[in-house]
Structure 1
Amino acid sequence: MATTADELHPQITGALDTFAKMSAKEREAQVSKYYAERLNALLDLAKEAMSGVSENRWPRPIPIRTTANGMGGSGDATYADVRAVLAELSAIVAEGVTPPSFGFA
């Protein structure tokens, strides 16, 4: 079953909320490989949920640098970059969120 904008939007906004607690120094650190992979997975899910959105509007996936032994690595972006991508995803996915009905049919 495909992921919907209604399901995905709270996940994206929840991830965005975590950045409010980060210091400026933390936001300038390179993202972990895991976090870059998770963000890229969210991007794929968002594209699936919002398949009618022009490809030009989507941010690019975060490149992942893997260590020589293949066991570690990092994303080629800072946490500030990730926050910007999440904000873009949030705005795009919000377009597909079903407005609350407030009990009206």
Structure 2
Amino acid sequence: MKKTMIVMLTMLIEFALLWGVSFTLGWALIDIIFLGGLAIFGVIWLTKVSGNLGKQAVNAEVRGWNGLKIEDEGVDINKFNLSPVLLGVILFLIISLIITIVHYWSYF
């Protein structure tokens, strides 16, 4: 139940953020909903990837200078981790893609 609420809240926040951007720029929401969702997904994904790469870079630097390995946090392989927030972003992206295709179907 808690995870479902987090997924729904994530989708609601993403919708509100994109609606605010469309209102501020004076564009139609349908025009930016998919690309905005894709941009938000990209930012979240790159943040997760860059955190792991930063740990690996520090570990490589320490090992290069003194031959020791940092064992405190441990550096893992970047695995796809489906958290409730990431699931909400992916579901929003899929729903916005479907809405965009249905809306612009006459142009295909």
Q: Tell me if both proteins adopt one fold, taking TM over 0.5 as the criterion.
A: no
Which structure has the greater CA radius of gyration?
2
Q: Taking structure 2 as the reference length, what is the TM-score of the superposition?
A: 0.29
Q: Per residue, is there more helix in 1 or in 2?
A: 2
Q: Per residue, is there more strand in 1 or in 2?
A: 1
